[in-house]
Amino acid sequence: MKKAVKGFFGVSLIAVVAAFSIAPAIAGDDVQLLPPELLAPTTDKKTPPDKYKKAPPWTIGMVFPGVGNTWIIQMAAETKSEAARTPEIKEFIFTEANWDPTKQVANMEDMISRKVDAIIIAPIAMPLLKKQVDAALAAGIPVINLGWSKGALPSTVEVMGGGGPFGEVGGKWLRDKLGGKGTVWAFRGVAGVQEETDRYEGFKKAIAGSEITIGAEVFADWNYAKAKGLCENLVLSGKPVDGIWFSGAEMTRGCIDVFKEAGRPLVPMTGEGNNGFLRAWKESKLDSVAAVFTPELGPAALRATVAILQGKSLYDHYFSDPAPITNANLDRYYRPDLNDAFWMPSELPAAEIEKMFKK
Amino acid sequence: MPVSIMKSNRSGLRLATIALPALLFVVLSILSPAFLSVQNLSNINGQIAALLIVSLGQLVVALIGGIDLSVGAVLSLTTTIIVSVSPDFALPAALLAGIAIGLVNGIGVTVAGVHPLIMTMASMTFLQGLALLIHPVPGGTVPDYLAGLAWTSAAGVPAAFFWCVAAVTIASFLLSMTRFGLRLFAIGANQASAARNGIAVRWYSVSCYVICSVAATIAGIFISARVSSGDATVGAPFALDSITAIAMGGVQLAGGTGSVAGVVLGTITLGLLTNGMNLVGISPFLRTAATGLLLLVAISMQRRTVIGV
């Protein structure tokens, strides 16, 4: 365990060194929401200073789509932890809509009624909250979007990762791994969810122009059990497969188990930076790559909110597209002392990580 | 209305049906200064309007002892149709689809003899897939005239209020002032007896499923306007929420007992729960648990009444 902890601090040290080495690219008076290798502005446009400046203490509302997977639970915990460590925040209200778009609209309206000082949103679908975001801004409440609206919302600041670049990581890697030709299967997440479609589009963009064909495409809801069942069907069908792209790593774990149980040699499969997947990757000696979708995006959105309320100027849009975890650096990220629910990188205090994720 | 009267009628209204939303209203008024603000009351109205319309449709089906699980998928499909076809044809296309779905459900249940749970679950699954095929990613543009219908106000009263008043008026008229409504109670109380008395049970049953689907379509039109977009999954929670709302309103799912007033009260109870917990700052997870608990309490306090035997 000590070795693992040491390894983790090693990674942190590298991250800090990397952050300082990249730092000159960012102006000295810029607010840093996360280390630059994790989150970077994608525009020169900045919010006007003092537009939403308010005297503390503040009440901040967060309008989240719903819970239901370990990434969201960790992101919410990291955001609440950051709020608790920020003395200017009097109250942090976390609402979730159980993935019901109409309830999310209602939650947003309730936050405006409650006259909170700022609202962090993570829309189930961007257009859904347009009128409510307009209303909040008209009421002088800044809206920080933990999402990428691509201009659909007039959010004060947007902070996001994943999406197209996430899908591209796996797509590019498969393209290289297969030498630009072959048959792949695509395991997608929940149908109709914008993040899922963005990831898939990123994957398709990465293999466009190659001789790689998609031999099978299924929606497994980012769910281990559903992916396992679907993968069993595909394996038993005898369909050819040279590699598999996954929209989420819970599904990769399901498919690894199916291949092992069927006695089939593993094909290259993509994953993401989740400890459970890294464990399965390491134990099965899979050939893989993991896109990183850090739960630190939650605290980053909260820091953006605090900076806006302090009257500071931020870039309009930030995006997280860190370097992926590869076969070569897997050991630096995997935490054998923690359980499968842990996502990295995390900025939760070590004691909280131990409490939440210790095996 | 005296409790003794409520106990004996077919409305299903009980003291708990009325007391629960009243109690919530009083408690929230005390706990949250923002609760009684005009803006918040207007929000609650907008938040429950679609559920109220769907629940009134569900009431019509429940009165004959049926159930319609496809209402959420109909609602979702409607929003996708609204943003996918020419604005001139958006409303007629959505309404035609609603009528067609209701006919299929009704014929499946009454003519083919499929259990309503299975029939409407099958159509729900089919329609959900169809909605995703039509419009896989949320978005699109809602015709301006529709957006206005959900967001305008008259004399300071928001449009959602008028949607609710219209739905309640139509449902009340249908169930209380027409032979059609009275016969639904008769069919729900004892189908065989109703048939022996000359009521065309099949025709009435098919009509109920059509009314229910059309109600879900109208709710879908309202939701499209409210969220200014189409979303193939937006209706998913409405099937169970509408059943919860009517059950809280004293409607007996076995048929023959229920009222528009009860559905209005049940819907308001659900709306107040969501709004109140947000205003008071209670964990969102507790809302789901509280809804389940309140449903259990409400149902337990409404002993099954037997009518028409």
pLDDT score at A16: 39
Complete domains list, chain B, with CATH: 46-300 (1.10.3470)
pLDDT at residue A26 above 80? no
Work out the minimum CA distance from B248 to partner chain A, whole angstroms: 19
Distance CA B288, CA A65 (A): 15
Q: Does B236 contact chain A (CB < 8 Å)?
A: yes
B292: exposed, middle or buried (Cβ count in 10 Å: 0-12, 13-18, 19+):
exposed
Alpha helices in chain B (DSSP H): 3-8, 15-31, 38-63, 71-84, 87-110, 116-134, 144-151, 159-176, 179-189, 191-196, 201-227, 238-248, 260-280, 284-300
Structural domain includes residue A349: no
B-interface mutation test, from A62, A110, A218, most B Cβ less than 10 A away: A110
Q: Is A26 found in the same domain as A126?
A: no
Q: Does A153 contact chain B (CB < 8 Å)?
A: no
pLDDT score at B7: 47
pLDDT score at B237: 87
Which of A91, A114, A194 has the CB atom closest to B138's CB atom? A194
Residues of A with CB below 8 A from B279's CB?
A: 110, 113-114
What is the total count of domains within chain A? 3
Strand partners, A214: A184
pLDDT score at A248: 93
Q: Do A128 and B227 touch (CB under 8 A)?
A: yes
Work out the minimum CA distance from B279 to partner chain A, whole angstroms: 6
Q: Do A192 and B47 touch (CB under 8 A)?
A: no
Mean pLDDT, chain B, as a whole number?
89
More confident residue, A86 or B229: A86
Q: Is A302 found in the same domain as A155?
A: yes
pLDDT score at A63: 95
pLDDT at residue A267 above 70? yes
Structural domain includes residue A286: yes
Structural domain includes residue A77: yes
Q: Does A107 contact chain B (CB < 8 Å)?
A: yes
Q: Is A62 found in the same domain as A207?
A: no
Query: What's CA B101's distance to the chain center, in Å?
Result: 16
| Long-range contacts of B161-164, Cβ-Cβ distance < 8 Å, separation of 24 or more | B161/B45, B163/B49, B163/B53, B163/B222, B164/B45, B164/B48, B164/B49, B164/B52, B164/B53
Distance CA A96, CA B270 (A): 16
Residues 89-108 of B with CB under 8 A from A: none
Residues of B with CB below 8 A from A115's CB?
A: 34
Question: pLDDT, tens digit, for every residue of B127-173?
Answer: 999 999 998 877 788 888 888 888 888 888 889 999 999 999 999 99
A-B C-beta contacts closer than 8 Å: 106
Distance CA A309, CA A297 (A): 18
Which of B37, B47, B229 has the CB atom closest to A127's CB atom? B229
Q: Is A241 found in the same domain as A302?
A: no
Work out the minimum CA distance from B21 to partner chain A, whole angstroms: 18
Q: Is A118 found in the same domain as A134?
A: yes
Q: Out of A8-12, A49-53, B118-122, pick the least confident.
A: A8-12
CATH code for position A299: 3.40.50.2300
Question: pLDDT, tens digit, for every residue of A345-354?
Answer: 999 999 999 9
pLDDT score at A150: 85
Question: pLDDT, tens digit, for every residue of A281-325?
Answer: 999 999 999 999 999 999 999 999 999 999 999 999 999 999 999
Q: Is the dihedral of CA A171, B138, B42, B59 positive or negative?
A: negative
Residues of B with CB below 8 A from A152's CB?
A: 139
Which of A110, A127, A194 has the CB atom closest to B228's CB atom? A127
Structural domain includes residue A69: yes
User: Residue A3's domain spans which residues?
Assistant: 1-30
Work out the minimum CA distance from A177 to partner chain B, whole angstroms: 31
Q: Using alpha carbons, select from A320, A318, A322, A301 the residue that is nearest to residue A42.
A: A318
The residue behind tokens 């790593």 is: A249
| Cβ contact B61:B214 at 8 Å | no
More confident residue, B283 or A129: A129
Q: Do A101 and B43 touch (CB under 8 A)?
A: no
Q: Over range A214-227, report the average pLDDT.
A: 91
pLDDT band, very low/low/confident/very high, at B302 (cuts 50, 70, 90):
low
Residues 34-73 of A with CB under 8 A from B: 67
The structure's pTM equals: 0.77
Taking residue B96's Cβ as centre, other Cβ atoms within 10 Å add up to: 13
A-interface mutation test, from B31, B227, B268, B270, most A Cβ less than 10 A away: B227
Work out the minimum CA distance from B299 to partner chain A, whole angstroms: 24
Query: What's CA A199's distance to the chain center, in Å?
Result: 11
Q: Do A109 and B43 touch (CB under 8 A)?
A: yes
Q: Do A102 and B47 touch (CB under 8 A)?
A: yes
Question: pLDDT, tens digit, for every residue of B243-293?
Answer: 999 999 999 888 999 999 999 999 999 999 888 887 887 776 677 788 788
Q: Is A153 found in the same domain as A301?
A: yes
pLDDT at residue A152 above 90? no
pLDDT at residue A111 above 80? yes
Structural domain includes residue A343: no
Q: Does A21 contact chain B (CB < 8 Å)?
A: no
Q: Do B37 and A197 touch (CB under 8 A)?
A: no
Q: Does B281 contact chain A (CB < 8 Å)?
A: yes
Structural domain includes residue A100: yes
Q: Does B40 contact chain A (CB < 8 Å)?
A: yes
| A237, A272, A291 - which closes a domain | A291
pLDDT band, very low/low/confident/very high, at B305 (cuts 50, 70, 90):
low
pLDDT score at A148: 87
Q: Does A257 contact chain B (CB < 8 Å)?
A: no
Q: Do A131 and B136 touch (CB under 8 A)?
A: no
More confident residue, A263 or A11: A263
Q: Is A94 found in the same domain as A54?
A: yes
Which of B39, B136, B234 has the CB atom closest to A113's CB atom? B39
Q: Over range B65-74, report the average pLDDT.
A: 97
Distance CA B47, CA B219 (A): 12
Distance CA A255, CA A355 (A): 30
Q: Using alpha carbons, select from B250, B240, B241 the residue that is nearest to residue B304.
A: B250
Structural domain includes residue A338: no
Q: Do A127 and B278 touch (CB under 8 A)?
A: no
Q: Does B172 contact chain A (CB < 8 Å)?
A: no
- For A139, name the nearest residue in chain B, comparing CA atoms only: B39
Q: Does A195 contact chain B (CB < 8 Å)?
A: no
Residues of B with CB below 8 A from A124's CB?
A: 138
Q: Is A286 found in the same domain as A170?
A: yes
Q: Is A154 found in the same domain as A125?
A: yes
| Cβ contact A266:A291 at 8 Å | no
pLDDT score at B304: 58
Q: Is A150 found in the same domain as A69?
A: yes
Q: Do A102 and B139 touch (CB under 8 A)?
A: no
Q: Do B34 and A127 touch (CB under 8 A)?
A: no
Q: Do B223 and A102 touch (CB under 8 A)?
A: yes
Q: Out of A10-19, A219-228, B261-270, pick the least confident.
A: A10-19
Q: Does A197 contact chain B (CB < 8 Å)?
A: yes
Q: Does A109 contact chain B (CB < 8 Å)?
A: yes
Q: Is A49 found in the same domain as A117?
A: yes
pLDDT score at B280: 80
Structural domain includes residue A194: yes
Distance CA B227, CA B205 (A): 33
Q: Does B43 contact chain A (CB < 8 Å)?
A: yes
Q: Does A85 contact chain B (CB < 8 Å)?
A: no
Q: Is A318 found in the same domain as A256?
A: no
pLDDT score at A67: 78
